A and B are shown apart, each in its own frame.
Chain A
């Protein structure tokens, strides 16, 4: 069958950078093509060319063929009218409009009086959602939905534009297990309806589950396309990074019992009136030892991040937290930092970095006091310290004076880690440290954490990626609905056990994740 979409020899040059060189790909109707590659390999650029955000370089060899016709895509609207839609990682829904209003945004049918025809909107939306087996209330505000449901709304909207090719950029990055399963089923439905899907993901497991073929990009060049049936994890990874898989997961050296550093006793958050939503924690107690990596697993919304926020003094709490036997009275993150706790947050851009500030200014921010004489910042010392971290963590940046907004995700994450390393914390909490960063950087982060632990830092690792939790942790605590649902040693833990524990009994979904 002739593929519905063909991109031939697409190149894209930015001032000073060749982002894509003669990349070709094909997608047939009803096919899922996975597109993989490290961050910066050119996946996003290629998709932006496809959806009309960027124009490809002018070259006689470059062709974009849709449904047999060669066209040049002028704009995102043009792309959409040709049946090409994209779901970005950052969703583009309007949170204070309802589901139905979102689907019909900017093309609302009108009544004779020129007012919005809500009846038609609701009816058409209902039919649309039903046809996609989506169980979402049309009249709820999109802001009240979970991230997974919001993505469903976006997909429904794309389908309602009669999409023939749907691009999904890291759709599962912030979805829970359950939502991921729902999404996989939805993708199968869409396949059956003849929609071609380009699926971008860092999670190889998902690609094996859902994709038909996979195209691998490296440094702006396509290094191969192969049927998923013929691919193995090793092959894909080797093609992506041109390095061996061996150094990807650093197995933690076996941990020997040591003294307890951090002890939480019956901690829970105090619900405040004006705070809607959030998870109510139920008396969480655990101990963390010197040099130990303690994994925290659980579904999205199980209270992992909330627990960490209490340990970092971000909210008022009930219960007791002890550090080296001394009870802490934390009123702000500053108190936690002074006690020797560091927290590399989940959301680098919102919570981890001041993006407009330089690498140097970000790294020194928590430890500025120790780099200053009274109020005066010792910039020479600051530069030296920063330079040292940039070197040891091999942060790729033109200079320490580069604004962090210009760094790639992996390098931003390293800056966040450098911030906390400079403080030499006794306890380091890392929340989703490798989310959205490429495999090379991931391996570096893993080996860094292992090294820290071997130096005696007690580490709490929160991660949605089971393979990461399993490979890195000496002990794993699983949370469910704000309470501890189970605890496993490294020897006991398996993927199945943790999933079962996270979902609660009887709710295990076989092939999930």
Chain B
């Protein structure tokens, strides 16, 4: 079932208190959020450092790029598709930005070139899926390899480290008050896309398309166009993540974003998006990313073997989705 967090909360004033809490418990996003809080509390008991502002800001800064990509992934998964290319597109966008800087282009232009690389990749994904009719898994598997290959061809595997403008570095390293800049950008994007998905025609069409593509087309939704837009947006958001990551690292690595698609998909799915399409939310993806971030940080703080982190993340995905399936069956 699709849960609409903002609307459900809005109704609470009218409803009885008890049914309000029942409803709260049934909202996927809040359940995951409760798990995040409980986990955070547990970690804090063993490691007081966890709650230090420094640490919290470092967690959210790390997860900001994952979340930005997860916004696009959520939209893609709501349409019933998948985008495996996000990690490679992140790397390619960073690489394009770095190459532009090494040609001494103005910083604005460098960022624009980086972003347009992602836009083009996303658009190509969309075309492969809507015009060539490839299944999204195959189409994006292909572009994932192509983009990564392109990075290696261009750089021969060496990182690019041209001199960067301070203004550009601010995107990755700056702070507004105590909040890191990447987090600010992430929050703006989450709010904007949550609004877009819940309040605009485009958002409605994305949900409808994922719920029943045929019925949506017969209701006049231009399904191919909507899909093309969704994949293009996903590519663009990955590029934003790439530009931010490069600004933070100041070195465009050939392996940037390698395997990142798995974290992104995990965040999205933990946040309540269903792989069969039709449900999911941008807020949910953020909370999913926070959960993964907290787990990773907690394991570092508790001195758990870093090799085990991957496995724990996997277990969390299975638990989160498994429990949800179980609950839906009970309904």
What is the interface of chain A, defined by CB distance below 8 A to chain B? Answer: 312, 314, 332-334, 337-338, 343, 345, 350-357, 361, 365-366, 368-369, 372, 375-377, 379, 403, 419
Q: Across the interface, which residues of A come within 8 angstroms of B106, CB to CB? A: none
Q: Of A338, A353, A354, which is in contact with the most chain B CB atoms at under 10 Å from its CB?
A: A354
Interface residue SS majority, chain B: helix
Which B residues touch A356, using CB under 8 A?
1-2, 211, 278-279
Which residue of chain B has its CB nearest to the CB of A367? B220
Contact A351 B215 (CB under 8 A): yes
A357 touches B201 (CB 8 A): no
Q: How far is the CB of B268 from chain A (nearest CB, A)?
A: 18
| CB <8 Å contact, B215 and A350 | yes
Q: Which 3 A-B pairs have the closest CB atoms?
A: A354-B211, A375-B200, A365-B219
Instruction: Tell whether, in the assembled complex, residue A376 and residue B214 are in contact, meaning their CB atoms are under 8 Å apart.
Output: no
Chain B residues near A375: list those with CB within 8 A. Answer: 200-202
> Within the complex, what minimum Cβ distance (angstroms) separates B200 from chain A?
4
Let me know if A332 and B217 touch, CB within 8 A. Answer: yes
20 contacts between A and B (CB under 8 A): A314-B218, A333-B219, A333-B220, A334-B220, A337-B219, A343-B218, A350-B212, A352-B218, A354-B207, A354-B278, A355-B211, A356-B279, A357-B2, A361-B207, A365-B204, A365-B208, A366-B220, A375-B200, A376-B199, A377-B199
Complex CA gap A1/B205 in Å reads 61
**Chain B residue with Cβ nearest A419:** B219
CA distance A337 to B222 in the complex (A): 12
The distance from the CB of A407 to the nearest CB of chain B, in whole angstroms, is: 15
Contacts known (A356-B2, A356-B278); A334 close to B222, Cβ less than 8 A: yes
A368 to B202, CA, bound (A): 10
Known pairs A333-B218, A361-B208. 6 more at Cβ < 8 A? Answer: A312-B218, A337-B219, A337-B220, A350-B215, A365-B208, A377-B199
A314 surroundings in chain B (CB, below 8 A): 218
What residues of A have a CB within 8 angstroms of the CB of B278 in the complex? Answer: 354, 356-357
Residue of B201, B207, B215 contacting most chain A CB atoms (<10 Å): B215
Given A332-B217, A333-B217; A355-B222 close (CB under 8 Å): no
Chain A residues with CB under 8 A of B211: 354-357
Chain A residues with Cβ below 8 Å from B220 are 333-334, 337-338, 365-366
- Residues of chain B having any CB pair with chain A under 8 Å: 1-2, 199-202, 204-205, 207-208, 211-212, 214-222, 278-279
B279 lies within 8 A of A352 (CB)? no
B249 shortest CB reach to chain A, Å: 36
With A356-B278, A372-B201 as known contacts, state yes or no: A332 contacts B215, CB within 8 Å: no
Q: Please tell me if the beta carbons of B201 and A345 are within 8 angstroms of each other in the complex.
A: no
* Shortest Cβ gap from B299 to chain A (Å): 37
Pairwise interchain contact B201-A369, C-beta atoms closer than 8 A: yes
Residues of A within 8 A of B1 (CB): 356, 403
Query: Shortest CB–CB separation between residue B233 and chain A, in angstroms?
Result: 14
- CB contacts (< 8 Å) of B279 on chain A: these are 356
A103 to B218 alpha-carbon distance, docked (Å): 37
Are B201 and A365 neighbours in the complex by a CB distance under 8 Å? no
Evaluate contact between B212 and A377: CB separation under 8 angstroms: no
A403 to B4, CA, bound (A): 12
**In the complex, A369 Cα to B221 Cα: how many Å?**
10
**Cα distance A369–B202 when bound, in Å?**
10
**In the complex, what distance in Å separates the CA atom of A361 from the CA atom of B198?**
12
Q: With A333-B220, A419-B219 as known contacts, state yes or no: A354 contacts B200, CB within 8 Å.
A: no
Least Cβ distance of A406 to chain B in Å? 10
Contact between A345 and B218, CB atoms less than 8 A apart:
yes
Report chain A residues within 8 Å CB of B200: 372, 375-377
Residue of B nearest to A274 (CB): B133
A357 / chain B contacts, CB cutoff of 8 Å: 2, 207-208, 211, 278
Question: Of B218, B221, B279, which is in contact with the most chain A CB atoms at under 10 Å from its CB?
Answer: B218
Q: How far is the CA of A357 from the CA of B207 in the complex (A)?
A: 8
A376 to B196, alpha carbons, bound, how many Å? 8
Residues in A neighbouring B215, C-beta threshold 8 A = 350-354
Chain A residues with Cβ below 8 Å from B199 are 376-377, 379
Q: Which residue of B lies closest to A348 (CB)?
A: B215
**Which of B199, B217, B220 counts the most A-chain CB atoms under 10 A from its CB?**
B220
Smallest beta-carbon distance A238→chain B, Å:
37
CB distance from B284 to the nearest CB of A (A): 16
> When the two chains form their complex, are residues A365 and B214 in contact, meaning their CB atoms are under 8 A apart?
no
Closest B residue by C-beta to A420: B219
Q: Which residues of B contact A376 (CB under 8 A)?
A: 199-201
Closest residue of A by beta carbon distance from B222 = A334
Whether the pair A332, B222 counts as a contact (CB closer than 8 A) is: yes
**Chain A nearest Cβ from B325, distance in angstroms:** 16
Q: Which residues of A contact B212 (CB under 8 A)?
A: 350, 353-355
Nearest CB of chain A from residue B286's CB, rounded to whole Å: 22
| Contact present for B218 and A354 (CB under 8 Å) | no
Residues from chain A with a CB closer than 8 A to the CB of B202 are 375
A residues in contact with B217, CB < 8 Å = 332-333
Cβ of A334: which chain B residues have Cβ within 8 Å of it? 220-222
CA distance A356 to B217 in the complex (A): 16
Contact B2 A365 (CB under 8 A): no
User: In the bound complex, do residue B204 and residue A361 qualify as a contact, i.e. CB atoms below 8 Å apart?
Assistant: yes
Report how far A403 CA is from B1 CA in the complex, Å: 9
Which residues does chain A contribute within 8 Å of B205, judged by CB atoms? 368
Measured in the bound complex, the distance between the Cα atoms of B220 and A369 in whole Å is 10
Closest to B202 in A: A375
Partner pick for A377 among B2, B201, B219, B221, CB 8 A cutoff? B201
Separation in Å of the A67 CB from the closest CB of chain B? 35
Considering the chains assembled together, what is the distance between the CA atoms of A115 and B53 in angstroms?
Answer: 66
Contact A354 B208 (CB under 8 A): yes
Question: Is A368's CB under 8 angstroms from B201's CB?
Answer: yes
Could you tell me the distance between the alpha carbons of A338 and B222 in the complex, rounded to whole angstroms?
12
